[in-house]
Structures are given as C-alpha cells and as structure tokens.
C-alpha cells in the first residue's frame, strides 16, 4: 500500500478533489449561493496559518524545545482576540480602498506610493519564498519517509533529480490550480470563492489527519495519556523536556516568540489575504475570533503526546519532524500514514496556494504595473485592452514564484529544519507590522519614515538571520558568525553589539524592530506629508468614523468619454460598462463625469492594478486638484470636529437662553398688554357711561316734567347736545387710537409748512382760549418750516397740545406759550403753560391711555368751565407724531415754569433746493 | 450591554490573555510535580481554553444583544 503508484494516485487524486471543490465553490458563487459566506468557513480559511510546518514541525519543535511551539499559536490567539477592533479596521479600510494585498495596504496608507509598495512586495518575495520552499520540502520529505520506511529518507533524496521529485510535480499542479482559481477575476480585491472553499476543506483534512494520528498514538500505542506520561516520567532523560529551560532564550525568548507570532499572524501575506482581502462580512470576525483559536488548540492537543511518544519509542529514524509519520509506520499500520501524508499535503498545498496568490498579486500590481506604466512604449501601444496583459503577468508571476520556491528548496535543501525557515520568514514578515499598525493609528507617520524604517528593518533581518542562514547552509564562510565580519566581534550577527543570551529570533526581532520603529517614528517626526499622504493617512486612521461614508472625495474634472476609454484599456469592455452604467445622469461621452463616478473608476482600477497605479492612471485623465483634501480633513479631524461640535452646542445653548429670555419678556409684555386691555375696557366703559348718564338723566327730566320752564328746558337740551358731542368725540378718539395701535391709521403725508399750520391752528383755538380766559402767546422764530406730514392730523395734534396746556395752566392768570424753533435738522414746537408742571416720574405716564393728571384744586378748575379731557389726546398725538417720524415728550417749561410738551419733526428737504 | 461596555470587556480579556501567556505567571507554573514533567504545558492549555471560552461567551453574548 505504500508503493509509489498508490501514494501518487492518492496524492494527485486529492489534488483533483481540490479542483472539484474549488470549481464547485466558484459555480455556487456565480449562482449567488456562496458557500464561503459563513463565519465557520472564514475561521477555517484562516487556519491556512497551520502549514506543513505546524503539521510536521510542531512535534519536532516540542521534542527539541519543549512548550515553545505553543507560542506560535498563542500569538495568533492574542491577535484574533483583537479581531473585533484591529482586524475589523483593516477589513473596513481594505474594502473601502479596494486593497489587494499587504503591499497595496502599506502603499495606499503612505500616499499610494508605488515605490513603497514595490519595496514591500520585494521584501515579501525574499522573505516568503523560503517558506514556500519549506512546504515543498515537507512534501518531498514526507513522501520519501512514507515510501522508504524503515530506510532513512535522506539516502534517497540526494539521488533524486527534479523530474523524479514529487514536490516538483505537486508545484506544477498547484500552479495550474492557482492560475485557474486564483486569477479568475482581474479585480484582485474580489473574493476567490472557490479557492477559499478549497482552503477551508484543506483545513478540515489536516485537522482530522492530525487528530487521528494523535488518538492512535495516545490510545493505541499507549493506554491513554496517563500511561504515556507515566512512562515519560520514568525516563530520566525526558524530565525537564517540557519546562521553560528547554525554551531557547528562556523567559526573554518566550516573550520574543510570542510577540513574533502575534505580529507575523497579521503581516504574513497569506494571512492578510485570508483575513482581510477574502473577508466577505465584517461580522464573521466575531465568531472567528474564538473559533480559530479553538482550532489551534485542537490541532496542538496531541503534539506533546506524539513528541513524547516519539522520544520514548526507540526508532531507527530519529528525525523528530517526521514523528507524525514514523510512529504509525513503526506500528505497522498502513492506512494512517497515508492519511497523515494527505494531511501534510493539504497543509502544505493550502499555504502554497494562498501565499502564491498573495505574492503574485503583489508582483503584478506593485512591481510590474508601475514599471509598465512608466515605460513609454506601452503608453503608445496602449490603445488595445491591457486587461489580458495584466492577468498574463499575474499568471507568469505565479509560475515564477513556485519555480523560485522549488529552486530554493532544491538548492538550500537539508541545511535547515522546518521550523528554522518558518521563523526566519516570520521575522521578515514582522517588518511590515510597524508601517501597517502604526500607520493605522498614528496619522503623523510619513512615507519617508515608513520607507526608511522598512529598509532598516529588512537589512537588519538580512544581517541577523538570512545571511547567517546562508552561512550555515555552506553558501558563505561561516567564520563571520563566530568572530564577526573583519574580526569585529561586536558585529557578530547572532550577538549584535554584544547582546547575548537571546535566542536568534528574538535577537533579530528586537534589533530589526528597534531599527524599524525607531526610524519610522523618528523620521516621521521630521518630515512632511504630501496632500495625498495626508488624505490617505486620515482615511486610514479614521476608517471607523461614520462621517466618512458620505464624503465625495473628488473634485477634479474629466469627461465620461475619457474615463470610459481609460477603463476600457485596462479593465475590458464588460467591466467598464458595469462601472459606467450609472442609474442617473447622462450617458453622453462629452458630459463631465460626476465625482462619484470618478471615485468608482479609481476603486475599480485599484482592485485590479493596486492603488498606486490606479492613482497614476486616474491623474492622467483628471484635471485639477483631484482630491478635496480640505473637506476630508475637516470631516476627519476629530479634534476640530469635537471643537466644532462644542462650539455649535454652545451656540445653540446661548441661542436657547436668548430665546428663553425673549419668551419671558414677551410673556411679560403680553401680561402687561392684557392688563392694559382690561384697564382700557374699564376706562372706556367708564368714560362712555359718564356722558350717557347725564344725557339720560336730562332726557328723563325733560320727559317726566312737561311743565318745565322754557329756559330750563333749553338749558337741559343744550347739556344733552354738548354731552352727545363729547360722546361722539370720545368715540372718534377711541377709534383713532384703535387704528393707531393696529397700524391701520391712514395718514396722508405731504410736504407742508409747519409755520402756516401753527398759525391756522392757533386761529382755530384762539377764540376758545380767550373764552376760558387763557392768554396765548405765540413765538415763531421762523418764517418757514417745511416738514412732511398729514395737515389734518398735525393740526389735530397742535390743537390738542394747546387745549391741554390751557386746561393745566394756573388758575390765576392762566398763560400758554407756543414756541417754534429749529433744532439741528428738525423743528421743535413746544407748548408750555404756567401750571403746576408734571413730576419727572409722571412724565411718561401722561402718554398712557386714559391717564389723567391729577390737578391740585381740580374742583376750582371745573368751576372755571374747562372741560375734562378724555385722557386719549396725548396718546393719539404721540402716535401720530411717531408715524410722521417725529417725537413728542414732556419737559419743564423754560419760561412759564409749568409743563412743556415738545413736538419734534424732521425737516423736509426739497430736492430742488440746496440744504440749508 | 452597551457598545463601550463590551469593548471594555474585550480589552480586559486581551489584557488577561497577554498576562496568562507571559513569563511572570508562566514561571509560576513552570515546576515539575513530585516526579515527571512540568505543569507548564498543562497550565498553558487550561489558560488557553479559558481565554477562548471567555471570548466565545463575550462574542456570542454580544451578538445576541446587538
């Protein structure tokens, strides 16, 4: 059963099954019934983290270094716990920016820089290719162990040439698989549904295979874990195998490996691919954040039993990396080793598939596209579609990456154990962490800082891990490991600056991250960001800000036609039509493209070509400032946003306070008006009743006493007539007042001469005043006083003033003086009397309705035959004067020492005459 | 439970996990029983499962609420 044909049939049959599953997944996706739209499938696809290195290497590491293998999985557990915060933000950014890979992510964060993207892609290529080689090596090795057992595998390996090496053919089959299912869409930011389905299946296979062998070893080879550990406890050389002493670097190495695994889990290109790019729903992160760690526990559960069993049982083949295979083989079981081989194959192929897709996307989008866009020749011949080109580049890249991996595997061969290569790659990938993580939370990180930090970290990694690795493989003289280059001991790669006591990975991680973070932060503090960088930095750091969703970021101008030809050239006609088929707006090629359409076009290009190239292309057709930087920054600037919010809040509360004050005042005024209204009604009734009562009384006397003397009858009738006149005058006044207050008083303003009007009014009242014994003095300083006014109403005012003055003049020798004079740009007419005057606090009240100044000795006044006022004359007068733009007020009389009522009216200017 | 409350719980859980997986506590459990292997791996698995259990409770519980 372990013959080559059977093993090969099973292995390639398994690969064929992967094709079927992937094809099924893709077809379901096309039908709209996605199979990967579940958090469980998502968690299983993340388990691509467990590679052949986990499958075979964990046992080896446990056998050699005790519990330190667990750190490789505790780190990701910590990372997944942060998924609802950290990874969710990454997913959000990637979906809004159409990010295709971690290189694209970092390039987009730092102003869509193509050079930074290329740097990341290069580092990934150099750092990850050995890791791919490691998977191929695992396939070759496991196949050799399976077929040759109990003969040691190494004997045969050296003799094989590549066409008999199974991993070469596996690599080729994988290349076909990846080309078929990894490059179906040009848009690399779209999900590879079939591929993810296959990966999730592979995760199940490797878990089942490992659990099977674990159960077999623990419960079949031994009588359960109790028996196993009792036997371990009995063998003195194994005591202490699982304590911290076995961990390289001790406590420091422990923490270093934990941090390393944490960072690498987030930054390995394949992890970024499945975690971020292939995520279909942010909500899946919640389930995955505990389900994936649970998967890790399950796959690690039997690592220690298998390792201990392997160390206990005397077997000819002592390589701990192969215990998973050799233990069941040693028991003479046939089926389980084959299952284990398939499990290892699934772990290796899963990793190779995802890693190759991620790397090929980086190579095509971050390395090749910027070069192609720069070359003149391509621009001239770019009238045709470039969509095919792009996919072609990606496919060639896939084949090249796999070949490179195979080459590395063939060349460096056996010098490294599985774990060693894996951890070297981890430290390489961890160099992306500062640029990515710091960039996501610190807006000030600049491109220069990120580039220099990455370069420094990468170089440190090369010096402290990669070169020593080459040296140990015999490619370089290993002497410099011992004594340092040129004999400089402080430059020894494994003890840089004399730092000893660390394991080599923690040591490399410490120095590389120190250089990386130090330069990133330090340089960022002293460099400035370009506008695009600022925008991108803001968009990344504030990705979870809900205000972002509704911002239109484009301000530049282009036409639909130009956009169309650009998209056609790069994405093909079908995609272009889909992007341009806007539900609204004109379809005419000459109309300007709306900002939303430009943004959509850039996103589509980003998904296919990477953000840096997309930006270059969009800028080639869009005129003017492409991004509305100000508005974005203003939206995103949380500080200013909060300040603005506070300011507005304060404004609002001030406004509220003011409105409240106004309301209170209005309420006060309304109450006052209500009170005045009540008073007014009472007054009016009272005023109307007085004349009515006397009319009625005299009329009744006349009716009841027919034999009244004629003289009395005439007198009574005269009183009735007078009182009726008074009544009608009162009613007239009330009506005037009502019109004044409601604003319905109709005035007939015209240019008139106040002097003439005064003379006319004086003539009208002169007789009456003389009858009352009032001596009236008229003092007109002017010959002419032009004003704008209604002559009838003004005359009414003047007569009213004179009449009032006559009433309040002194009882003995009552005198009234009218004086008209110019005062600045107006005329003042004052009417004074020699009465008792009005106290200052009473002066405004005389203008209240029905207010009557109490006279000392009113009775004698009545006796003098002066009629009582209605109390409405002055309010009406003031209203009329105010309507004409003048004023009316009370002051002390300058000459007669009584009260003086002053009316002021503005001078009317004649346009024909110059101003005086 | 409101969003900030569950957020705070998650942060606390991350802190707890980091603490459980790191040296000071790890050293405490790194001692062999009377005879045989160190308790360390056993402790790690228990702590690990505890953290996962808490995370599962927190995530699924929160999902129902929101």
**Contacting residues for A916 by C-beta, under 8 A, at least 6 apart:** none
The pLDDT tens digits of the residues spanning A314-353 come to 654 567 788 888 888 888 777 888 898 899 989 988 898 8
Residue of A342, A336, A417 lying closest to A59 (CA atoms): A417
Q: How far apart are CA A167 and CA A404, in angstroms?
A: 13
The answer to whether B16 contacts chain A (CB < 8 Å) is: no
Residue A233: which of B37, B51, B52 has the nearest Cβ? B37
**Residue A848 φ/ψ region, left for φ over 0, alpha for ψ in the -120 to 50 degree band, beta for the rest:** beta
* ipTM attached to this prediction: 0.91
CB atoms B27 and A233 under 8 Å? no
Cβ pairs A/B, distance under 8 A: 99
Q: What is the DSSP string of A659-681?
A: HHHHHHHHHHHHHHHHHHHHHHH
Query: Residue A35: how many CB atoms within 10 A of its CB?
Result: 18
pLDDT at residue A521 above 90?
yes
Output the pLDDT for position A535.
77
The pLDDT tens digits of the residues spanning A255-301 come to 898 999 999 999 999 999 999 988 888 888 888 999 999 999 999 99
A contacts of B7 (beta carbons < 8 Å): 85
Q: How far apart are CA A505 and CA A517, in angstroms?
A: 17
Q: Is residue A457 a part of any domain in this protein?
A: no
Q: Is residue A117 a part of any domain in this protein?
A: yes
The answer to whether B18 contacts chain A (CB < 8 Å) is: yes
Clarify whether residues A660 and A760 are in a common domain: no
Output the pLDDT for position A891.
87
- What is the rounded average pLDDT of the residues A39-64? 88
Residue of A879, A882, A869 lying closest to A739 (CA atoms): A879
Give the single-character DSSP code of A907: B
**Contacting residues for A893 by C-beta, under 8 A, at least 6 apart:** A817, A830, A832, A833, A834, A837, A899, A900
Sign of CA dihedral A295, A272, A508, B21: negative
CB atoms A240 and B38 under 8 Å? yes
pLDDT at residue A865 above 50?
no
CB atoms A244 and B18 under 8 Å? no
CB atoms A78 and B26 under 8 Å? no
Q: Is residue A742 a part of any domain in this protein?
A: no
B contacts of A85 (beta carbons < 8 Å): 7, 10
**What's the gap in Å between the CA of A75 and the closest CA on chain B?**
9
pLDDT at residue A211 above 90?
yes
Lowest mean pLDDT among A272-286, A550-564, A780-794: A550-564
**What's the gap in Å between the CA of B56 and the closest CA on chain A?**
5
Contacts of A35-39 with CB under 8 Å at 24 or more apart are A35/A193, A35/A197, A36/A191, A36/A193, A36/A196, A36/A197, A36/A200, A36/A278, A36/A280, A37/A280, A37/A281, A38/A284, A39/A281, A39/A283, A39/A284, A39/A285, A39/A286, A39/A287, A39/A288, A39/A291
Clarify whether residues A709 and A858 are in a common domain: no
CB atoms A258 and B32 under 8 Å? no
Residue B23: which of A74, A85, A251 has the nearest Cβ? A251
Q: Is residue A267 a part of any domain in this protein?
A: yes
Give the single-character DSSP code of A777: E
Residue of B nearest to A255 (CA): B22
**What's the gap in Å between the CA of A513 and the closest CA on chain B?**
20
pLDDT at residue A486 above 80?
no
Question: Could you tell me what percent of chain B has a pLDDT over 90?
Answer: 17
The answer to whether A227 contacts chain B (CB < 8 Å) is: no
pLDDT at residue A603 above 80?
no
Clarify whether residues A752 and A723 are in a common domain: no
- Tell me the CATH number at A130: 1.20.1730
Banded model confidence at residue A18, pLDDT cuts 50, 70, 90: confident
Q: What average pLDDT does chain A have?
A: 81
Output the pLDDT for position B3.
62
The answer to whether B19 contacts chain A (CB < 8 Å) is: no
* H or E stretch at A266: helix A250-267
For A762, the token pair is 């004086």
CB atoms A297 and B44 under 8 Å? no
- What is the rounded average pLDDT of the residues A17-41? 85
Residue B51: which of A77, A233, A251 has the nearest Cβ? A77
Q: How far apart are CA A499 and CA A492, in angstroms?
A: 9
**Which one has a higher pLDDT value, A591 or A227?**
A227
The answer to whether B49 contacts chain A (CB < 8 Å) is: yes
A contacts of B56 (beta carbons < 8 Å): 290-291, 294
Lowest mean pLDDT among A101-110, A276-285, A840-849: A840-849
The pLDDT tens digits of the residues spanning A197-207 come to 889 999 999 99
- What is the rounded average pLDDT of the residues A642-666? 86
Residue of B nearest to A67 (CA): B41
The answer to whether A232 contacts chain B (CB < 8 Å) is: yes
Q: Is residue A35 a part of any domain in this protein?
A: yes
Lowest mean pLDDT among A439-443, A873-877, B24-28, B60-64: B60-64
CB atoms A67 and B41 under 8 Å? yes
Output the pLDDT for position A292.
93
Question: Could you tell me what percent of chain A has a pLDDT over 90?
Answer: 16
C-beta separation of A127 from A429 below 8 A: yes
Tell me which residue range forms the domain holding A667: 639-727
Lowest mean pLDDT among A235-249, A430-444, A618-632, A824-838: A618-632
Output the pLDDT for position A294.
93
Clarify whether residues A890 and A751 are in a common domain: yes
A contacts of B30 (beta carbons < 8 Å): 243-244
pLDDT at residue A252 above 80?
yes
Q: Is residue A411 a part of any domain in this protein?
A: yes
Q: How far apart are CA A363 and CA A360, in angstroms?
A: 5
C-alpha dist (Å) from residue A39 to A208, A291, A331: 20, 9, 39
Clarify whether residues A720 and A758 are in a common domain: no
B contacts of A84 (beta carbons < 8 Å): 10, 59
pLDDT at residue A390 above 80?
no
For the entire predicted model, the pTM comes to: 0.68
- What is the rounded average pLDDT of the residues A667-687? 85
User: Would you kindly state where each structural domain of chain B is located, as residue ranges?
Assistant: 3-65
CB atoms A85 and B48 under 8 Å? no
Q: How far apart are CA A355 and CA A368, in angstroms?
A: 18
**Residue A250 φ/ψ region, left for φ over 0, alpha for ψ in the -120 to 50 degree band, beta for the rest:** left
- What is the rounded average pLDDT of the residues A369-380? 67
Clarify whether residues A722 and A751 are in a common domain: no
- What is the rounded average pLDDT of the residues A49-71? 86
The pLDDT tens digits of the residues spanning A350-365 come to 898 889 888 988 888 8
B contacts of A71 (beta carbons < 8 Å): 21
Banded model confidence at residue A641, pLDDT cuts 50, 70, 90: low
Output the pLDDT for position A155.
45
C-beta separation of A105 from A536 below 8 A: no
- What is the rounded average pLDDT of the residues A236-258? 77
**Contacting residues for A775 by C-beta, under 8 A, at least 6 apart:** A769, A813, A814, A815, A816
**What's the gap in Å between the CA of A218 and the closest CA on chain B?**
16
- Tell me the CATH number at A697: 1.10.287.130
Query: Considering its fold, how many domains does chain A have in total?
Result: 3
The pLDDT tens digits of the residues spanning A566-598 come to 777 777 777 777 777 755 555 666 677 777 777
**What's the gap in Å between the CA of A275 and the closest CA on chain B?**
18
A contacts of B17 (beta carbons < 8 Å): 77-78, 81
**Which one has a higher pLDDT value, A174 or A275?**
A275
pLDDT at residue A698 above 50?
yes
**Which one has a higher pLDDT value, A227 or A568?**
A227
Q: Is residue A147 a part of any domain in this protein?
A: yes
Q: Is residue A522 a part of any domain in this protein?
A: no
C-beta separation of A355 from A128 below 8 A: yes
The answer to whether B21 contacts chain A (CB < 8 Å) is: yes
Q: Which residues pair with A777 in a beta bridge?
A: A817
The CB-side HSE value for A67 (13 A sphere, CA atoms) comes to 28
Torsion of CA A138, A144, A150, A156, to 10 degrees: -120
A contacts of B16 (beta carbons < 8 Å): none
Banded model confidence at residue A550, pLDDT cuts 50, 70, 90: very low
Output the pLDDT for position A656.
92
Output the pLDDT for position A633.
59
Clarify whether residues A672 and A777 are in a common domain: no
Clarify whether residues A840 and A717 are in a common domain: no
Clarify whether residues A311 and A194 are in a common domain: yes
Output the pLDDT for position A455.
94
**Which one has a higher pLDDT value, A157 or A315?**
A315
Give the single-character DSSP code of A337: H
The pLDDT tens digits of the residues spanning A69-83 come to 888 899 999 999 998
Clarify whether residues A153 and A225 are in a common domain: yes
Question: Could you tell me what percent of chain A has a pLDDT over 70?
Answer: 86
């Amino acid at each position: 059963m372990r013959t080559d044909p059977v093993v090969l049939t099973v292995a390639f049959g398994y690969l064929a099954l992967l094709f079927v599953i992937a094809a099924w997944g893709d077809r379901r996706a096309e039908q709209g019934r996605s199979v990967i739209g579940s958090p469980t499938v998502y968690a299983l696809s993340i388990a691509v983290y467990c590679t052949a290195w986990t499958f075979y290497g964990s046992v080896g590491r446990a056998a050699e270094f005790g519990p330190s293998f667990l750190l490789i999985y505790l780190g990701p557990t910590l990372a997944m716990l942060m998924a609802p915060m950290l990874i969710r933000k990454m997913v959000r950014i990637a979906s809004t920016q159409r990010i295709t890979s971690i290189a694209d992510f970092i390039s987009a964060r730092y102003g869509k820089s193509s050079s930074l993207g290329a740097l990341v892609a290069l580092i990934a290529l150099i750092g990850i290719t050995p890791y791919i080689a490691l998977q191929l090596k695992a396939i070759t090795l496991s196949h050799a162990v399976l077929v040759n057992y109990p003969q040691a595998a190494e004997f045969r390996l050296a003799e094989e040439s590549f066409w008999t090496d199974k991993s070469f053919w596996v690599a080729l089959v994988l290349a076909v698989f990846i080309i078929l299912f990894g490059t179906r869409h040009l848009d690399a930011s779209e999900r590879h549904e079939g591929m993810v389905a296959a990966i999730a299946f592979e995760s199940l296979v490797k878990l089942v295979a490992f659990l099977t062998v674990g159960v077999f070893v623990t419960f079949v080879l031994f009588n359960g874990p109790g028996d196993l550990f009792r036997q371990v406890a009995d063998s003195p050389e194994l005591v202490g195998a699982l304590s911290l002493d076995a961990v390289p670097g001790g406590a420091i190495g422990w923490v270093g490996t934990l941090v390393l695994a944490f960072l690498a889990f987030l930054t390995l290109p394949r992890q970024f691919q499945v975690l971020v790019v292939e995520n279909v729903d942010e909500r899946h992160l919640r389930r995955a954040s505990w389900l994936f760690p649970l998967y890790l526990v399950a796959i690690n559960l039997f690592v220690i039993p298998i390792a201990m069993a392997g160390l206990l049982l005397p077997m000819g083949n002592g390589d701990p990396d192969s215990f998973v295979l050799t233990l069941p083989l040693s028991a003479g079981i046939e089926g389980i080793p084959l299952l284990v081989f398939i499990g290892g194959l699934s772990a290796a192929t899963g990793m190779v598939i995802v890693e190759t897709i991620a790397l090929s996307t980086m190579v095509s989008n971050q390395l090749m596209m910027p070069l192609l866009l720069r070359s003149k020749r391509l621009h001239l011949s770019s009238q045709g579609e470039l969509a095919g080109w792009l996919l072609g580049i990606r496919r060639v890249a896939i084949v090249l990456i796999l070949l490179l991996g195979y080459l590395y595997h063939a060349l460096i061969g056996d010098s490294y154990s599985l774990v060693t290569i894996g951890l070297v790659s981890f430290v390489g990938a961890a160099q992306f962490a500062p640029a990515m993580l710091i960039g996501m939370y610190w807006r000030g990180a600049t491109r220069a800082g990120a580039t220099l930090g990455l370069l420094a970290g990468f170089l440190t990694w090369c010096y402290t891990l990669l070169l020593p690795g080459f040296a140990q493989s015999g490619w370089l003289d290993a002497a410099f490991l011992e004594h340092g280059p040129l004999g400089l001991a402080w430059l020894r790669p494994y003890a840089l600056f004399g730092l000893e006591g660390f394991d080599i990975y923690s040591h490399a991680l410490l120095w590389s991250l120190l250089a990386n973070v130090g330069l990133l932060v330090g340089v960022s503090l002293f460099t400035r960001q370009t506008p695009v960088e600022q925008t991108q930095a803001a968009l990344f750091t504030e990705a979870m800000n809900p205000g972002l969703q509704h911002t239109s970021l484009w301000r530049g101008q282009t036409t639909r036609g130009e956009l169309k030809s650009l998209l056609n050239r790069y994405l093909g006609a079908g995609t272009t039509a889909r992007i341009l088929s806007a539900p609204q707006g004109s379809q005419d090629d000459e109309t300007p493209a709306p900002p939303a359409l430009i943004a959509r076009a850039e996103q589509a290009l980003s998904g296919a070509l990477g953000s840096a190239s997309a930006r270059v292309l969009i800028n080639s057709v869009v005129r003017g400032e492409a991004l509305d930087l100000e508005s974005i920054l203003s939206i995103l600037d949380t500080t200013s946003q909060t300040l603005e919010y506070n300011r507005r809040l304060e404004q609002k509360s001030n406004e509220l306070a003011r409105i409240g004050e106004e309301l209170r005042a209005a309420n006060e005024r309304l109450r006052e008006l209500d009170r005045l209204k009540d008073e007014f009604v009472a007054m009016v009734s009272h005023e109307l009743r007085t004349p009515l009562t006397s009319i009625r009384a005299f009329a009744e006397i006349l009716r009841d006493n027919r034999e009244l003397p004629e003289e009395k009858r005439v007198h009574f009738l005269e009183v009735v007539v007078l009182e009726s006149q008074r009544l009608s005058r009162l009613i007239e006044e009330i009506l005037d007042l009502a019109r004044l207050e409601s604003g319905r008083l109709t005035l007939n303003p015209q240019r008139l001469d106040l002097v003439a009007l005064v003379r006319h009014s004086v003539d009208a009242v002169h007789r009456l005043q003389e009858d009352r014994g009032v001596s009236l003095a008229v003092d007109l300083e002017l010959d002419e006083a032009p004003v704008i006014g209604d002559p009838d109403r003004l005359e009414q005012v003047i007569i009213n003033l004179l009449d009032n003055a006559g009433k309040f003049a002194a009882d003995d020798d009552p005198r009234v003086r009218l004086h008209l004079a110019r005062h600045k740009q107006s005329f003042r007419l004052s009417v004074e009397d020699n009465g008792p005057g009005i106290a200052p606090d009473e002066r405004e009240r005389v203008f209240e309705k029905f207010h009557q100044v109490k006279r000392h000795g009113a009775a004698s006044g009545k006796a003098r035959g002066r009629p009582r006022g209605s109390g409405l004359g002055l309010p009406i007068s003031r209203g009329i004067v105010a309507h004409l733009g003048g004023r009316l007020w009370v002051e002390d009389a300058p000459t007669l020492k009584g009260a003086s009522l002053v009316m002021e009216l503005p001078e009317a200017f004649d346009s024909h005459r110059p101003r005086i | 439970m409101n969003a900030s409350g569950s957020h705070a719980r998650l942060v606390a859980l991350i802190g707890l996990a980091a603490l459980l997986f790191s040296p000071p506590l790890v050293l405490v459990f790194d001692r062999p029983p009377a005879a045989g292997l160190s308790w360390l791996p056993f402790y790690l698995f228990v702590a690990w499962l505890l953290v996962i259990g808490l995370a599962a409770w927190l995530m699924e519980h929160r999902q129902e609420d929101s």
